[in-house]
């Protein structure tokens, strides 16, 4: 499905550049660094969060409204400031406004809802459209001034008249003061009433209607902080089973917990861990085994984890090893020392599934991103770059030369730009449309056959 | 706030420098040789890790994941550098410096004290922070955050912070106070060869000072005795 050199079946995807959002200059403003990307459940809306605490939502144009040459483009729908920098007076610490995660709620009425979080506080935002306004008040003039009641001689019923579309975002709930450490994940339960938030040491369960309390369901803080050797890195609810969630750790383990077992899920139901390969052992083994992202498949039968060098697919029924492993950039294994030195080894890459769970995608360096087709076992490396990007032109696959003679069009490992990292990617839930975030630009690619 | 901002900018500048550093590790030769770790880690890898640990500790709010991974890696490197000495199992002891010493070699006593003190600080500060939720919980079915002590009663009037501090009784107050910050080793120039820079000193001091001033005040109010005289430590 990814790239078929021989004549394949009808399902070949040919990825084309569609759009790019964001500033063109190389001088990146810190606040514009994209920190999260997420499609909503229908795929019509695409949200990004940035380091400056802003959320930008793009909306896909309806097919029947637009010209023939553009198909389903995403345009800005709403922009709002979700989080502001705060100061914690007790600890004398600044709390960053950077948006760590955005998660959409399924749509229940005309309005859209999403959760956005920074290191400490989660907010529920309502995004609603207004395309009409009431006119003809009895006591108010059109400009809002109040009329003198004595001048009112007749009464009329105000009517709604159309107006230019206005999209308003308003904070409906603020869930604060429940996290001592930095929030890394939020995940909405399949009951659509509760959600979890996870920081380095704890996971809390919230009800969407209740902001003044949350339940602690996982706590791995040791009694003695000197014994701390492991932190929580990501957590997610199962897509169908509302009592089940998983959390990953910095030691490369994933724990599956059942909330029915006990109020405090300190004892896992399942522990997923692959034994270390002794031939690959190094001082950096633990760091590269640290899981940066965990995502259930849409079916709920599998989960995917991302560690520094690979993507692993786990069958929930098998705890002792993953069923599939894909190497993202194995050529970096011999460079771990320098990557440790420049801290790149601590980069946290995310991963995502396509709508049918047949292809997985993750980012890499040099603005490369990778896709792995689980059925054909083929993989492809593509680049998000403004150069050579004309709409409807098929993207050219990239190849990194690990050692030896570099072929034409290959790029050598030493030439890779480690400042250009793709940490956040998202796949439309139904179509072959992907959103890929470089440092401060958002790229949208589509299947040519779309 | 300005200090934190200053720290942040500095960190970013350092990161940029780090990225620009000549990647001399890449010239280690054959990839296979670099892949297999030598039986004994080079001292430069150890130094690099210590540098990273210090850098992490100097942050106003360290990234816990980064800190834990660096500490664990440092332990591995340490273990390989002293192969004859098996690492003793970590005993749970009340005295902070002793436990830390058993983990890292004695020459790093200052470092271990600072790691231990930082982790204790995080724990201590977090206890103070937990307080606001105690009043919000009303015995929910799940395990509520913090867990309210049985009889708050009149202590509520003094403010949310007190109820948490007095959970373990007055003796608990003193046990929680971490004094390793005032051990001379931390500030001795010889300890690491890396003096904490001036702008970092006050930032680190502010936090324990704030706690102690608050504790002293509460002691006065509750017990009606004068605040205990504390010998001025270095850096105050």
Lowest mean pLDDT among A176-190, A274-288, A334-348, B89-103: B89-103
pLDDT (0 to 100) of residue B216: 66
How far is it, in rounded angstroms, from Cα A253 to Cα A272?
A: 6
CB contacts of B92 in chain A (<8 Å) are 223-224, 227
Q: Is the pLDDT of residue A198 over 70?
A: yes
CB contacts of B138 in chain A (<8 Å) are 213
Considering chain A, what is the average pLDDT of its residues?
Answer: 92
The answer to whether the beta carbons of residues A189 and A237 sit under 8 Å apart is yes
User: What confidence tier does A405 reach under pLDDT thresholds 50, 70, 90?
Assistant: confident
3-state secondary structure of B101: helix
CB contacts of A177 in chain B (<8 Å) are 132-133
- A229–B contact, CB cutoff 8 A: yes
How far is it, in rounded angstroms, from Cα A290 to Cα A234?
A: 10
Q: What is the pLDDT of residues A110-156, one digit of tens each?
A: 999 999 999 999 999 999 999 999 898 898 888 888 988 888 899 99
How far is it, in rounded angstroms, from Cα A24 to Cα A138?
A: 51
pLDDT in tens, chain B (236 residues): 443 444 444 444 444 444 444 333 333 444 444 444 444 567 889 999 999 999 988 888 889 999 999 999 999 998 888 765 544 444 433 333 333 333 333 333 444 555 665 556 555 545 554 443 333 333 333 443 433 333 333 333 333 444 344 444 444 444 445 555 554 444 334 433 344 444 444 444 444 444 666 666 666 666 654 444 445 545 43
- B210–A contact, CB cutoff 8 A: yes
How far is it, in rounded angstroms, from Cα B87 to Cα B109?
A: 15
Q: What is the pLDDT of residues A221-251, one digit of tens each?
A: 999 988 999 999 999 999 999 999 999 999 9
CA A104, A176, A256: angle at the middle one, nearest 5? Answer: 60
- A192–B contact, CB cutoff 8 A: no
CB contacts of A30 in chain B (<8 Å) are 12
Say which of A216, A233, A343 has its CB closest to residue B18: A343
- A226–B contact, CB cutoff 8 A: yes
For the segment A197-223, the average pLDDT, to the nearest whole number, is 97
Mutual orientation of helices B200-223 and B169-176 as an angle, nearest 10°?
170
CB contacts of A403 in chain B (<8 Å) are 31
- Interacting residues of A89 by C-beta distance below 8 A, sequence separation 6+: none
Q: Give the gap in angstroms from C-alpha A209 to the nearest C-alpha of chain B.
A: 15
Cβ contact, residue pair B8, A94, below 8 Å: yes
3-state secondary structure of B28: helix
> Residue A280 is encoded by which pair of tokens?
């690959």
- A346–B contact, CB cutoff 8 A: yes
- Interacting residues of B184 by C-beta distance below 8 A, sequence separation 6+: B234
Cβ contact, residue pair B19, A419, below 8 Å: yes
ipTM over 0.85: yes
* Residue A393 DSSP label: P
- B81–A contact, CB cutoff 8 A: no
> Residue A390 is encoded by which pair of tokens?
């004309």
CB contacts of A343 in chain B (<8 Å) are 15, 18, 52
Q: What is the pLDDT of residues A55-68, one digit of tens each?
A: 999 999 987 655 54
Q: Give the gap in angstroms from C-alpha A400 to the nearest C-alpha of chain B.
A: 16
How many other CB atoms sit within 10 Å of the CB of residue A377? Answer: 10
Cβ contact, residue pair A263, B72, below 8 Å: no
Q: What share of chain B is helix, strand, coil (3-state, %, to 5)?
A: 65, 0, 35
Distance of CA B181 to the CA centre of its chain: 10
The answer to whether the beta carbons of residues A62 and A111 sit under 8 Å apart is no
How many other CB atoms sit within 10 Å of the CB of residue B92? Answer: 10
Q: Give the gap in angstroms from C-alpha B97 to the nearest C-alpha of chain A.
A: 10
Q: With residue B129 as reference, give the H or E element that holds it.
A: helix B109-129
Cβ contact, residue pair B68, A230, below 8 Å: yes
- Interacting residues of A337 by C-beta distance below 8 A, sequence separation 6+: A284, B25, B28, B34, B45
Instruction: Enter the pTM of the model.
Output: 0.73
Cβ contact, residue pair B45, A283, below 8 Å: yes
Say which of B34, B61, B90 has its CB closest to residue A334: B34
pLDDT (0 to 100) of residue A144: 81
pLDDT (0 to 100) of residue B127: 56
Mutual orientation of helices B200-223 and B109-129 as an angle, nearest 10°?
50
> Which chain A residues in 274-333 lie under 8 Å from chain B, judged by CB atoms?
280-284, 286-287, 290, 333
Say which of B48, B119, B136 has its CB closest to residue A225: B119
The answer to whether the beta carbons of residues A378 and A360 sit under 8 Å apart is no
Q: Give the gap in angstroms from C-alpha B154 to the nearest C-alpha of chain A.
A: 23
Phi and psi angles of residue A432, each rounded to the nearest 5 degrees, phi first: -85, 70
- A177–B contact, CB cutoff 8 A: yes
> Which chain A residues in 76-95 lie under 8 Å from chain B, judged by CB atoms?
87, 90-94
- Number of CB pairs < 8 Å for A and B? 157
CA A10, A13, A16: angle at the middle one, nearest 5? Answer: 140
- A338–B contact, CB cutoff 8 A: yes
pLDDT (0 to 100) of residue B102: 37
User: What confidence tier does A411 reach under pLDDT thresholds 50, 70, 90?
Assistant: very high
For the segment A408-419, the average pLDDT, to the nearest whole number, is 93
Cβ contact, residue pair A229, B72, below 8 Å: yes
Phi and psi angles of residue B217, each rounded to the nearest 5 degrees, phi first: -60, -45
Which residue of B6, B48, B68, B200 to mutate against A (max A Cβ within 10 Å)?
A: B68
Which residue of B25, B69, B71 to mutate against A (max A Cβ within 10 Å)?
A: B69
Higher pLDDT, B141 or A267: A267
pLDDT (0 to 100) of residue A92: 84
pLDDT (0 to 100) of residue B74: 93
**What is the DSSP code string of A84-109?**
--EEETTTTEEEP----EEEEPPP-S
Q: Is the pLDDT of residue A425 over 80?
A: yes
Q: Is the pLDDT of residue A172 over 50?
A: yes
CB contacts of B142 in chain A (<8 Å) are 205, 215-217, 263-264
- A174–B contact, CB cutoff 8 A: no
Chain B, nearest residue to A288 by Cα: B69
pLDDT (0 to 100) of residue B3: 39
**What sign does the CA torsion over B103, B108, B112, B115 have?**
negative
How far is it, in rounded angstroms, from Cα A234 to Cα A182?
A: 11
Q: For tokens 């709390």, what's the residue?
A: A95
Say which of A93, A282, A414 has its CB closest to residue B4: A93
3-state secondary structure of A186: strand
């Amino acid at each position: 499905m990814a790239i078929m050199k021989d004549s394949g079946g009808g399902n070949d995807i040919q990825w084309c550049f569609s759009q790019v959002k964001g500033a063109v200059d190389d001088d990146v403003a810190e606040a514009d660094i994209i920190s999260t990307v997420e499609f909503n459940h229908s795929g019509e809306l695409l949200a990004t969060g940035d380091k400056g605490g802003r959320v930008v939502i793009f909306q896909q144009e309806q097919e029947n409204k637009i010209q023939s040459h553009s198909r389903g483009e995403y345009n800005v729908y709403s922009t709002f400031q979700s989080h502001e920098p705060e100061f914690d007076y007790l600890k004398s610490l600044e709390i960053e406004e950077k948006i760590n995660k955005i998660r959409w709620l399924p749509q229940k009425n005309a309005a859209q809802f999403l959760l956005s979080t920074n290191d400490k506080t989660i907010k529920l935002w309502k995004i609603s459209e207004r395309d009409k306004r009431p006119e003809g008040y009895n006591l108010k003039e059109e400009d809002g001034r109040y009329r003198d009641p004595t001048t009112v001689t007749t009464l009329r019923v105000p009517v709604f008249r159309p107006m230019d579309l206005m999209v308003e975002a308003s904070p409906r709930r603020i869930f604060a003061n429940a996290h001592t450490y930095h929030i890394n994940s939020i995940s909405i339960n399949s009951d659509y009433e509760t959600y979890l938030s996870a920081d380095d040491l704890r996971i809390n369960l919230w009800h969407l209607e209740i902001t003044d309390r949350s339940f602690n369901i996982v706590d791995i803080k040791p009694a003695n902080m000197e014994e701390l050797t492991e932190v929580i890195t990501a957590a997610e609810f199962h897509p169908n089973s509302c009592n089940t969630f998983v959390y990953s750790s910095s030691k490369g383990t994933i724990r599956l917990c059942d909330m029915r077992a006990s109020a405090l899920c300190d004892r896992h139901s399942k522990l997923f861990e692959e034994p270390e390969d002794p031939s690959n052992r190094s001082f950096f083994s633990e760091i590269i085994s640290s899981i940066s992202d965990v995502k259930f498949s849409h079916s709920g039968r599998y989960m995917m984890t991302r560690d520094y060098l690979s993507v692993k697919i786990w069958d929930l029924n098998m705890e002792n090893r993953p069923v599939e492993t894909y190497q993202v950039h194995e050529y970096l294994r011999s460079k771990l020392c320098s990557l440790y030195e420049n801290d790149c080894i601590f980069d946290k890459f995310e991963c995502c599934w396509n709508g049918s769970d047949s292809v997985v995608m993750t980012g890499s360096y040099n603005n490369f991103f990778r896709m792995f087709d689980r059925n054909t076992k083929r993989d492809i490396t593509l680049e998000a770059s403004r150069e050579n990007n004309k709409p409807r032109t098929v993207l050219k696959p990239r190849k990194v030369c690990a050692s030896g003679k570099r072929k034409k069009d290959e790029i050598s490992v030493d030439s890779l730009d480690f400042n250009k990292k793709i940490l956040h990617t998202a796949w439309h839930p139904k179509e072959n449309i992907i959103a890929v975030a470089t440092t401060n630009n958002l790229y949208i690619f589509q299947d040519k056959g779309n | 706030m300005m200090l934190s901002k200053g720290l942040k900018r500095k960190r970013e500048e350092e990161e940029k420098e780090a990225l620009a550093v000549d990647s001399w590790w890449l010239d280690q030769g054959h990839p296979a040789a670099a892949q297999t770790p030598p039986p004994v880690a080079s001292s430069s890898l150890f130094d690099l890790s210590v540098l990273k640990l210090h850098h992490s500790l100097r942050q106003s709010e360290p990234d816990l994941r980064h800190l834990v991974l660096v500490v664990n890696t440092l332990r591995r490197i340490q273990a390989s550098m002293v192969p004859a000495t098996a690492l003793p199992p970590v005993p749970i002891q009340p005295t902070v410096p002793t436990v830390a010493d058993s983990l890292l070699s004695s020459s790093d006593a200052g470092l271990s004290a600072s790691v231990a003190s930082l982790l204790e600080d995080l724990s201590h500060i977090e206890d103070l922070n937990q307080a606001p939720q105690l009043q919000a919980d009303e015995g929910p079915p799940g395990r509520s955050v913090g867990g309210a002590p049985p009889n708050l009663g009149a202590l509520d009037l003094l403010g949310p912070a007190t109820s948490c501090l007095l959970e373990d009784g007055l003796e608990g107050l003193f046990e929680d106070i971490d004094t390793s910050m005032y051990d001379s080793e931390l500030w001795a120039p010889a300890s690491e060869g890396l003096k904490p820079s001036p702008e970092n000193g006050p930032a680190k001091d502010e936090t324990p000072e704030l706690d102690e001033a608050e504790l002293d005040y509460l002691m006065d109010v509750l017990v009606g005795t004068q605040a205990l005289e504390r010998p001025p430590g270095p850096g105050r």
